[in-house]
Amino acid sequence: GVIKDLLVIVFLLINMFYQSWQLTLFAFFAFPLALWPIRKIGKSIRKITYTIQNEIAIFSNVLGESIRGIRQVKAYNQERYETKRAFKTIQHIKDYFVRSSFISNRLSPLMEFIGSLAIALSIYAGGVFVLNENMTTGQFMSFLVSLLLAYQPVKALGNLNISIQEGLAGAERIFELMDTKENFIEKTNNEKKDLKVTNGKIQIDNLSFAYNNKDVLNGLNLSIPAGKKVAIVGRSGSGKSTIVSLLLQFFTKYRGKILIDNQDINDCSLYSLRKNIGLVTQETILFNDTIEANIKYGNLNASSKDVENAADEAGISEFINSQPNKFQTIVGESGIKLSGGQRQRISIARALLKNAPILLLDEATSALDNLTEQKIQYSI
């Protein structure tokens, strides 16, 4: 351990000074030379380790957002996008680990060179001392053995500095936090056909669904004509949100049939189903990115003009334009920098940008005032 290495060095130094204090001082002239690479490399390691900690935090945030917003991810068919986002962060972490290993591995050969140089010069100087009868051969051999034995503990302390710097970088991340006030991708069955929506009529026949052995829906029959706005009203827990989840195939174990334009959704690929349905939930999921990126999540190929139009239709343009960075404003983790109503309007803008033929609103305007809600209903 560290204490053992320190004690060994102290006792060996005492013996070396006892044999020849002049030769001891001469041998340790290399000590200042060794301090420079130790300090330089330690500083670099601390900086890179701090960056690695940041990247790991970013990865945890990305993964957490994907899991919390799994319904949004699936509803917008963005599984591949989320996978790329996660792997991009993983690649950054790997690159920094490689750099860290490369830098830390330079310390050992440097210490070997400086140590070998000090030993070689000490042997030369000791030989001169013995020839000039300034010390006996026995004293010189005792000194040389002590110097050789001290080399490994000194080298170990140099490597210890690397570990200390890595630990300090991690501690900095913890202090920062204290001071501040598997991504599952469903496979599309090749045998399933693409859903083709021409009108958007939804037909639910004798639908039953149980959750944890408790019936939520029992023999539900419902017909929603194409192009109509239909509200499903009921008490809390009556299954309103369950119907939305079943339409998007978040749950697949149910009895009965769900048809869209006379096509059983069980016979259609998930991608084509979710491509044709827009979703806005009461629990708004925003990602730690810009306002533009969060709206564009509904359609990654949309132009900036399309994003602006969607924001205007959702009644969020005035707020966005009042921000210094406008659409490039970062919303924070889970949209923490925005109010509940602002988050909800961005989520609505995302759904409007998707421009799907079927739009599902699961208490999507609960945080909006009446005037804003009327404007959004008009836009829809």
C-alpha distances (whole Å) from 159 to each of 151, 166, 299 are: 13, 11, 51
Nearest to 153 by CA among 124, 111, 118: 111
Q: Are 264 and 257 in contact (CB under 8 A)?
A: yes
Per-residue pLDDT of the chain (380 residues; tens, 9 = 90+): 667 777 877 887 888 788 877 777 777 766 666 666 667 777 777 777 778 777 877 777 777 777 777 777 777 788 888 888 888 888 888 888 778 777 766 666 776 777 777 777 778 777 888 888 778 888 888 888 887 777 777 766 666 655 665 555 555 555 555 454 433 344 445 567 888 888 888 898 998 988 877 888 888 898 888 888 888 887 777 788 888 888 888 888 888 999 999 899 888 888 888 888 888 887 777 888 899 999 998 888 899 999 999 999 888 888 899 999 999 999 887 788 888 788 888 888 988 898 888 888 887 666 566 666 666 666 56
Tokens read off for 311: 């924001």
Beta-bridge mates of residue 220: 207
Task: Report the chain's C-alpha Rg in angstroms.
Answer: 34
pLDDT value for 181: 46
Give the domain ranges of the chain: 2-179, 192-266, 276-380
Say what the pTM is: 0.52
pLDDT value for 186: 45
Phi, psi of 178 (to 5 degrees): -70, -30
Q: What topology is assigned to 2-179 in CATH?
A: ABC transporter transmembrane region fold (1.20.1560)
pLDDT value for 378: 63
pLDDT value for 145: 84
Tokens read off for 148: 């050789």
CATH fold match for the domains 192-266 and 276-380: yes
Alpha-carbon distance 184 to 365, whole Å? Answer: 29
pLDDT value for 126: 79
C-alpha distances (whole Å) from 15 to each of 22, 73, 127, 205, 227 are: 13, 70, 18, 94, 95
Tokens read off for 132: 């000039």
Nearest to 341 by CA among 313, 373, 312, 310: 373
Alpha-carbon distance 143 to 377, whole Å? Answer: 91
Class of domain 192-266: alpha beta
Sign of the C-alpha dihedral computed for residues 139, 140, 141 and 142 taken in this order: positive
Q: What topology is assigned to 276-380 in CATH?
A: Rossmann fold (3.40.50)
